[in-house]
Structure 1
Amino acid sequence: MFNPTRLSTARKRRQLTKKHLAESAGISQLTLTRIESGQTADPGEETVSALAKALSYPVSFFYREDCEELPVEAVSFRSLSSLTARQRDAALSAGAIAHLLDDWITDRFNLPEPDLLDLRDEDPESAAIALRRHWGIGSKPIPHILKLLEAKGIRVFSLAENNKNVDAFSCWRNGVPYVFLNTFKSAERSRFDTAHELGHLVLHLHGGTSGREVEREADRFASAFLVPRDDFIANVPVVRSLQQLMACKHRWGVSLAAITRTAYDVGSLSEWHYREFCKQISYRGFRKNEPEPMRREESVLWKKVFGQLWKERLTKDHIAAELGIPVDEISALIEGILGGDQEKVKTFRSGAKLRSV
Structure 2
Amino acid sequence: MSAEKSPHFYLQNLDPGRIKFARELHGLTKKELAEKIGKTPSAVTQYEAGKSGLSLETFTALAHALSVPFSFFSKCNHPLPTASFSECHFRANRRVPQMERLRAFSFAVQVFSIFSYLADRGVHFPETAFPTFDGSQVQEREIEKYAVEVRSAANLGLGPIPNMAGLLESLGVRIILLPAREAKLDGFATWFEGTPCVMIDSNSAASRMQFDYAHELAHLIFDEESTPEDPLVERRANRFASAFLMPATSFRADCPQFYRQSHFVSVKKYWHVSIAAALYRARELGILSEKSYKSAQISRSRAGTRMQEEEEFPPSMPSLLDQAMRLVCHDVRLDEMALDLGMSQHGLRDILELQNVSPDVLDVMTPPTKKARIIDFSVYRDTD
Same fold (TM over 0.5): yes
* Aligned counterpart for 1:170 among listed residues 189, 211, 218: 189
Aligned partner letter, 2:85: V
Within 5 A, what are the aligned runs for 1:206-355?
206-236=225-255, 238-312=257-331, 314-315=333-334, 317-327=335-345, 330-331=348-349, 333-338=351-356, 341-348=358-365
Moved more, 72-81 or 139-148: 72-81
Once the two structures are TM-superposed, the CA of residue 99 in structure 1 deviates from its matched residue by 3.0
Partner deviation per Cα, 1:56-96 (whole Å, 9 max, x = no partner): 11112212177446333311111262321111111221232
Q: Are residues 1:90 and 2:107 paired?
A: no
Aligned partner letter, 1:55: L
Moved over 6 A (4+): none
Once the two structures are TM-superposed, the CA of residue 205 in structure 1 deviates from its matched residue by 1.8
Question: Residue 127 of structure 2 corresponds to which residue in structure 1?
Answer: 113
Q: Indicate conservation of the 8 Å contact 1:6/1:67, yes or no.
A: no
How far apart, in 2, do the equivalents of 1:328 and 1:163 lie? 23
* Cα pair distance change 1:24/1:73, threshold 3 Å: closer
Question: Residue 53 of structure 1 corresponds to which residue in structure 2?
Answer: 64
Partner deviation per Cα, 1:255-290 (whole Å, 9 max, x = no partner): 111111111111221211110111122222223322
Question: Residue 73 of structure 2 corresponds to which residue in structure 1?
Answer: 62
Aligned partner letter, 1:111: F
Partner deviation per Cα, 1:83-140 (whole Å, 9 max, x = no partner): 2111111122123212321210111201111112122344332221110001111101
SS at match of 1:15: coil
Question: Residue 10 of structure 1 corresponds to which residue in structure 2?
Answer: 22
Percent identical pairs in the alignment equals: 30
Q: Which has the larger radius of gyration?
A: 2
* Cα pair distance change 1:134/1:166, threshold 3 Å: same
Aligned partner letter, 2:84: P
- Superposition CA RMSD, Å: 2.2
Runs of 5+ unmatched residues, structure 1: 350-357
* Cα pair distance change 1:154/1:303, threshold 3 Å: same
Aligned partner letter, 2:312: P
* Aligned counterpart for 1:186 among listed residues 200, 205, 214: 205
TM-score by length of 1: 0.89
Aligned partner letter, 1:251: Y
* Aligned counterpart for 1:152 among listed residues 171, 183, 198: 171
Partner deviation per Cα, 1:162-201 (whole Å, 9 max, x = no partner): 2342111111133210111111211111111111000000
* Aligned counterpart for 2:36 among listed residues 1, 4, 24: 24
Q: Indicate conservation of the 8 Å contact 2:215/2:237, yes or no.
A: yes
Question: Residue 78 of structure 1 corresponds to which residue in structure 2?
Answer: 91
How far apart, in 1, do the equivalents of 2:281 and 2:298 lie? 16
Moved more, 76-85 or 195-204: 76-85
Partner deviation per Cα, 1:190-229 (whole Å, 9 max, x = no partner): 1111110000000112443541111010011111111111
* Cα pair distance change 1:5/1:161, threshold 3 Å: farther
Aligned partner letter, 1:186: A
* Cα pair distance change 1:327/1:74, threshold 3 Å: farther
Question: Residue 352 of structure 1 corresponds to which residue in structure 2?
Answer: none
How far apart, in 2, do the equivalents of 1:289 and 1:79 lie? 18
SS at match of 1:179: strand
Question: Residue 146 of structure 2 corresponds to which residue in structure 1?
Answer: 127
Moved more, 215-224 or 290-299: 290-299
How far apart, in 2, do the equivalents of 1:334 and 1:226 lie? 29
How far apart, in 2, do the equivalents of 1:189 and 1:258 lie? 9
Aligned partner letter, 1:151: S
* Cα pair distance change 1:162/1:186, threshold 3 Å: same
Once the two structures are TM-superposed, the CA of residue 54 in structure 1 deviates from its matched residue by 0.9
Q: Indicate conservation of the 8 Å contact 1:172/1:206, yes or no.
A: no
Q: Indicate conservation of the 8 Å contact 2:80/2:110, yes or no.
A: yes
Q: Indicate conservation of the 8 Å contact 1:125/1:221, yes or no.
A: yes
How far apart, in 1, do the equivalents of 2:40 and 2:126 lie? 48
How far apart, in 1, do the equivalents of 2:306 and 2:66 lie? 37
Aligned partner letter, 1:335: E
SS at match of 2:94: helix
Once the two structures are TM-superposed, the CA of residue 240 in structure 1 deviates from its matched residue by 4.5
